[in-house]
């Protein structure tokens, strides 16, 4: 039990589909993150939310749309994805200040 739960664990979708990834943290943290993890590459930060406000968008294409309705929940809405978007998408949370980030187990996304 990591304290950060991601659903679904696996997702296969076509390029024209619309789907959403969900993340929930049970740690009382006030910052949440989306990362993309591709083979043999460093973790790529996509979005950061502090107290539900987006504070970082790391030049992510608009086909990825984040949503943070409260400090415990984070969504990543997907539409019109490309094959190169196939990857493991990780959610993390942390407390304010210089504190470690706690990761979920990710959603393995495959684009057909």
Partner 1 sequence: GENVEQHPSTLSVQEGDSAVIKCTYSDSASNYFPWYKQELGKGPQLIIDIRSNVGEKKDQRIAVTLNKTAKHFSLHITETQPEDSAVYFCAASMRDNFNKFYFGSGTKLNVKP
**For the window 58-87, what string marks contact with partner 1 as x by the rule CB under 8 A?**
------------------------------
The secondary structure element, H or E, covering residue 62 is none
Indicate which single residue of 43, 71, 73, 111 sits in contact with partner 1 (rule: CB under 8 A): 43
Phi-psi region of 84 (alpha: psi -120 to 50; beta: other; left: phi over 0): alpha
Which one of 11-19, 66-74, 76-84, 100-108 is the stretch in contact with partner 1 (CB under 8 A)?
A: 100-108
Minimum distance from residue 37 beta carbon to partner 1 (Å) = 9
Q: Which is nearer to partner 1, 17 or 72 (by Cβ)?
A: 72
* 51-79: burial string, b at 16+ Cβ within 10 Å, e else: ebeeeeeeebeeebebebeebbebbbebe
């Amino acid at each position: 039990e990591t304290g950060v739960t991601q659903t679904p664990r696996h997702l296969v979708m076509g390029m024209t589909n619309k789907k959403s990834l969900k993340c929930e943290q049970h740690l009382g943290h006030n910052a949440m993150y989306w990362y993309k993890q591709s083979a043999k590459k460093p973790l790529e930060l996509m979005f950061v939310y502090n107290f539900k406000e987006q504070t970082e968008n790391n030049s992510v294409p608009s086909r990825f749309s984040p949503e943070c309705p409260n400090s415990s929940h984070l969504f990543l809405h997907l539409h019109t994805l490309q094959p190169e978007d196939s990857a493991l998408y990780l959610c993390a949370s942390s407390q304010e200040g210089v504190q470690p980030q706690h990761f979920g187990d990710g959603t393995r996304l495959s684009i057909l």
